[in-house]
A and B are shown apart, each in its own frame.
Chain A
Amino acid sequence: MDHKKLFNYAILTGEIMLRSGAETSRVEDTINRILATTKFTTVESFVTPTGIFATLDDDTIDMISFVKRVHRREIHLNRVAMANDLSRRFCAGVIELEDAYNQLEAIKDVPSYPNWIMVLAKGIGAGSFAVVFGGDVIDMCVTMIIGFALAMIQVFLRKLDTLKFFEDIIGGSLIATIAIVSFYYLKIGSNFDLIVIGSIMPLVPGVAITNAIRDIIQGDFISGMSRAADAFIIAASVAVGVGSILKLFYLYLGGAPI
């Protein structure tokens, strides 16, 4: 068997899964399982949210080690499912290495949903969560419109390849601006807080902080701490965006918080 090829296959699987938002323990497990098909004595992998390290060693071969830095991440659970399924079939011996590698290359390019569906989904999602937390129909409509605007500006900013931090600040201030205009000037909507909270649902890191704590409890400290840091930075950037616009507005009103 071609060990180098197998190793590349394992690393590429790990990279695709990690980049698409899989848990680090799942990525480690998958890489180990793929490498273990060689029956070599040393099979080791170490995965953090920003990189993959893996080693394969035996008396019969030269040691292979690999470091892979993973940069931009975009959550794509479909890719995780497909890569996972492929590796499972490979480990069960259903398909050959060459075949698996080619299929993996195809999984790498599985498209996301088109932008207009994303915009629609974010708007509807934000609107629904305003209702979940106790808003009424008018709140839902306002939140939905804010969600559409937010998603569009995100699509635009992503084309410019800006920092995530910057993107969230802009998103937060956009939410606050539209919410203030519609609530205080156009007099639409009944709960200002619910409109803001519903609109920030696509941005805030609730799942991230939960996964961080889960990683820490499981003993993946590095990945847990970096996810927690990620969550706090995202929350901070959204809060700075929303907070600064609200503060400006209250200053403009004469410092009277409403």
Chain B
Amino acid sequence: MIIEVLAAFVGTLAFSVFYNVSKRELLFCGTVGGISWTVYLFVNAFIHDSIFSCFFAAIVISVISHILSRVRKNPVTIYQIGGIFPLVPGAGMYKTLYYIVNEDYTLSTYYLYESLQIAGGIAVAMILIASLNNLLIKR
């Protein structure tokens, strides 16, 4: 598990480079990615439900991103994209279209709904925390 979290840290850091995040913020992005995967694994070990685990991990990293963005004076997106990177259903989207190409519509529908549920969960978590942030702290 430690290796997986470390890999999530390195992977998120690498993809932040790919998104042209400035050098000073790279380590923070990597850390957020590592935390996100840790929370996901932890929650998933208890309830065995990937959608809820993603939702919960997204809530945690959104809170961290909002705090970081306030401290480091940067847009929230920078940290948030890094954080959700290990969670988002990239592979699910690929599988959806892959099974359509292979004419296996049952599996493709399954992966389509799974991807939409995970993406929806993460999106709702992000909006929830953003709204709370707006309510609590007047800009």
What is A's interface to B at a CB cutoff of 8 Å? Answer: 20-23, 26, 74-81, 84-85, 112-113, 117-118, 120-122, 124-125, 127-129, 131-134, 140, 197, 200-202, 204-207, 209-214, 217-218, 231-232, 235-236, 238-240, 242-244, 247
Whether B64 is near chain A, meaning CB under 8 Å from some CB there, is no
B20 in contact with A242 (CB, 8 Å): no
| Residues of B near any A CB (own CB < 8 A) | 3-4, 7-8, 10-11, 14-22, 25, 37, 73-75, 77-78, 81, 84-86, 88-94, 96-98, 100-102, 115-116, 119-120, 122-124, 126-127
Within the assembled complex, what's the spacing in Å between the Cα atoms of A243 and B104?
Answer: 12
A162 vs B73: C-alpha distance when bound (angstroms) = 37
Q: Which residue of the partner chain, among A78, A85, A209, A239, contacts B89 with CB atoms under 8 Å?
A: A209
B61 to chain A, nearest CB (A): 12
Which of A112, A113, A129 is the one whose CB lies under 8 Å from B7?
A: A129
Cα separation A100 to B55 with both chains bound (whole Å): 40
A238 partner residues in chain B, CB cutoff 8 A: 94, 97
> Among the listed A80, A236, A240, which residue makes an inter-chain contact with B77, where contact means beta carbons less than 8 Å apart?
A80
Cβ contacts under 8 Å, A127 to chain B: 11
Q: Is the CB–CB distance between A210 and B84 below 8 Å?
A: yes
Do the beta carbons of A26 and B4 come within 8 Å of each other?
A: no
On whether the beta carbons of A239 and B94 are closer than 8 Å, the reply is: yes
Number of A-B contacts (CB under 8 A): 165
A239 touches B18 (CB 8 A): no
> In the bound complex, how far is the Cα of B43 from the Cα of A210, in angstroms?
21
CB distance from A122 to the nearest CB of B (A): 6
> Are B90 and A201 interface neighbours, CB within 8 A?
yes
Q: How far is the CA of A214 from the CA of B120 in the complex (A)?
A: 7
Kindly state the separation between the CA atoms of A22 and B14 in the bound complex, as whole angstroms.
20
Give the distance in Å from the alpha carbon of A111 to the alpha carbon of B101 in the complex. 38
- Given A118-B18, A214-B123, is A206 in contact with B93 using a C-beta cutoff of 8 Å? yes
* Partner pick for A77 among B20, B102, B115, CB 8 A cutoff: B20
B119 touches A76 (CB 8 A): no
Report yes or no: A75 in contact with B84, Cβ–Cβ below 8 A. no
Cα distance A156–B86 in the bound complex, in angstroms: 28
Q: A204-B90, A218-B127, A236-B97 are in contact. Are A125 and B84 (CB under 8 A)?
A: no
- A132 close to B37 (CB less than 8 A): yes
**A132, B81: Cβ atoms closer than 8 Å:** no
Q: Are A78 and B100 in contact (CB under 8 A)?
A: no
Take A210-B123, A213-B119 as given contacts and tell me if A128 and B14 are in contact as well, using a CB distance cutoff of 8 Å.
Answer: yes
